[in-house]
């Protein structure tokens, strides 16, 4: 299995242009050719140099290109490219360490855990869309949030208008459309809709005066009660679907759900209750700033300007910290790692238990679950805030791991050769 993977790597020609295209960075040679073609000049293809091999110059071009992108602002597309690049690198590393099958399973587990954080990031961006212009590197997120919101509204409108758009992943909508389609018939000549279900056929065959007494109740049930019940159930399911999916996958299917997914999903559900406080706090601050303070700026008032600037600082700090924390959790999940936040991690692990140490699919390190650290935490007045990078633990002398030192020495020797 590993030999076939190595053969695949030999079949792929990886040069500087391939690496730059992966990151979405244009090569300097291609830029010169494109500018020449835009001016209307012809280019002699025989004189065009082929792309060079991967070297230190490639790394320099990647760093410069990514830095230019960051200066212009990040988008959701940039974050997706970074995440998939991390998944690709991780897949290669684990394939070399184990095999392709194991690497595929571990990568898929990290992908699912990262997807949970990515969906949460989209929800947070949608909620903060009105204040994202105040953030230096995340102002393009507002454009993405508006596009996602308009797309969601358009799809909702299409689903409401066209019965053919009932999808398999929405079983309630499928049953509702099947029920309404099955009990109605339209006359091709007069285009009048008739109900052909057994209850409607029974009511239509009733004799007067019984029919005139039952018809008002019949129309009330079909035209008001049934649509109202469906609307209530659909709204209730929209609120409950996330919790239902969590209960089915992580509780009922606990045996088949990896610990990494259960840990990150439970952690997200716990912090979502606290996040609402900060989100609505920003809503209030933004409303007070734009609808109370700014309309009073008929003349230059240093007091009002100071208040507006102070509120801007509060908005930027809270939103930047919130989005940064979500990105922090997102990259940990993609790498298959854990992190420690006091109170939240303890409550998460009260629900799902400690990490199984004998499974390679359980993810990275959880130093706070070790027996020595548990004993120390019981004797502390305040909780420990830092357990090292990726939960790997800390040392008193802050020395670098010996394996990491050996890895760096090997890279330096290869560069010297």
Q: Are 315 and 285 in contact (CB under 8 A)?
A: yes
Give CA–CA dist 52/17, Å, rounded: 8
On whether the CB atoms of residues 363 and 338 are closer than 8 A, the answer is: yes
Q: How confident is the model at residue 403 (pLDDT cuts 50, 70, 90)?
A: low
CB atoms within 10 A of CB 135: 19
261 pLDDT tier (thresholds 50, 70, 90): very high
Q: 10 Å Cβ neighbour count for 172?
A: 14
Is residue 7 predicted with pLDDT exceeding 60? no
What gap in Å lies between CA 142 and CA 146, rounded to an integer?
Answer: 6
pLDDT at 60 over 80: no
Closest to 242 in 3D by CA, of 88, 123, 73, 369: 123
8 Å CB contact between 117 and 333: yes
- For the question of whether the overall pTM of this predicted structure is more than 0.85, the answer is no
Q: Which residue has the tokens 């700033």?
A: 289
Report the share of the chain in percent with pLDDT over 90. Answer: 16
198 against 332, higher pLDDT: 332
| Residue 56: predicted pLDDT | 65
Give me the pLDDT at residue 106, please: 92
CA dihedral sign, ordered 268, 273, 274, 275 = positive
pLDDT digits (tens, 9 = 90+) for 270-319: 998 899 999 999 999 999 888 888 888 777 778 888 888 889 899 989 99
Using pLDDT thresholds of 50, 70 and 90, give the confidence band for residue 3: very low
Query: Average of pLDDT values for 63-88?
Result: 78
Place 253 in a pLDDT band, splitting at 50, 70 and 90.
confident
Q: Structure tokens of 410?
A: 């090997």
Q: How far apart are CA 329 and CA 114, in angstroms?
A: 8
- Average pLDDT value over all residues in the chain: 76
Q: What average pLDDT does this structure show over 35-52? A: 51
Question: Of 247, 250, 276, which is closest to residue 263 (Cα–Cα)?
Answer: 250
Return the top range by mean pLDDT from 110-114, 298-302, 383-387: 110-114
Stronger pLDDT, 141 or 9, i.e. the higher one? 141
* Structure confidence at residue 399 as a pLDDT band (50, 70, 90): very low
pLDDT number for residue 120 = 92
Give the Cα separation of 122 and 127 in Å (integer). 9
Segment of 45-49, 126-130, 161-165, 325-329 carrying the highest mean pLDDT: 325-329
pLDDT class of 201 with cuts at 50, 70, 90: confident
Residue 200 has pLDDT above 70, yes or no: yes
- For the chain, the farthest-separated pair of C-alpha atoms sits apart, in whole angstroms, at 102
Counting Cβ atoms within 10 Å, is residue 351 exposed (0-12), middle (13-18) or buried (19+)?
middle
How many Å is the Cα radius of gyration of the chain?
30
Residue identified by tokens 């004189």 is 47
Tens digit of pLDDT for each residue in 140-183? 777 777 777 766 666 555 555 444 555 555 666 667 677 777 67
Closest CA relative to residue 366, chosen from 328, 332, 321: 332
């Amino acid at each position: 299995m590993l030999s076939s993977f190595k053969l695949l790597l030999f079949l792929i020609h990886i040069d500087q242009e391939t690496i730059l295209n992966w990151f979405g960075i244009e090569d300097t040679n291609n830029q010169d050719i494109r500018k020449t073609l835009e001016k209307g000049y012809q280019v002699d293809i025989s004189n065009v140099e082929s792309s060079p091999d991967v070297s230190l110059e490639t790394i320099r071009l990647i760093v410069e290109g990514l830095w230019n992108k960051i200066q212009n602002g990040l988008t959701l597309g940039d974050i997706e490219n970074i995440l998939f690049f991390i998944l690709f690198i991780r897949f290669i590393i684990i394939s070399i360490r184990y095999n392709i099958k194991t690497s595929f399973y571990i990568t898929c587990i990290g992908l699912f855990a990262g997807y949970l954080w990515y969906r949460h990031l989209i929800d947070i961006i949608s909620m903060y869309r009105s204040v994202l212009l105040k953030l230096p590197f995340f102002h393009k997120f507002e454009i993405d949030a508006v596009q996602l919101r308009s797309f969601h509204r358009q799809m909702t409108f299409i689903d409401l208008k066209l019965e053919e758009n009932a999808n398999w992943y929405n079983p309630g909508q499928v049953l509702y459309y099947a029920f309404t389609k099955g009990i109605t018939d339209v006359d091709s000549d007069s285009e009048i809709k008739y109900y052909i279900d057994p209850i409607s056929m029974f009511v239509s065959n009733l004799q007067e005066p019984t029919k005139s007494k039952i018809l008002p109740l019949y129309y009330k049930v079909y035209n008001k009660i049934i649509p109202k019940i469906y609307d209530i159930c659909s709204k209730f399911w929209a609120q409950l679907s996330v919790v239902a999916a969590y209960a089915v996958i992580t509780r009922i299917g606990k045996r088949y759900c990896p610990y990494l997914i259960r840990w990150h999903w439970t952690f997200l559900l716990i912090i979502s209750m606290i996040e609402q406080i900060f989100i609505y706090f920003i809503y209030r601050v933004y409303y007070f700033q734009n609808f109370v303070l700014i309309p009073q700026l008929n003349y230059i008032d240093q007091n009002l300007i100071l208040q507006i600037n102070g509120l801007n600082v509060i908005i930027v700090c809270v939103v930047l910290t919130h989005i940064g924390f979500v990105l922090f959790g997102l990259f940990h999940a993609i790498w298959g790692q854990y992190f420690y936040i006091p109170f939240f991690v303890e409550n998460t692990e009260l629900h799902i238990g400690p990490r199984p140490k004998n499974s390679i699919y359980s993810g990275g390190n959880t130093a706070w679950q070790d027996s020595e650290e548990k004993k120390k935490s019981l004797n502390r007045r305040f909780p420990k805030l830092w357990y090292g990078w990726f939960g790997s633990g800390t040392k008193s002398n802050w020395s670098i791991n010996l394996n990491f030192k050996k890895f760096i020495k090997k890279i330096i020797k290869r560069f010297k050769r």
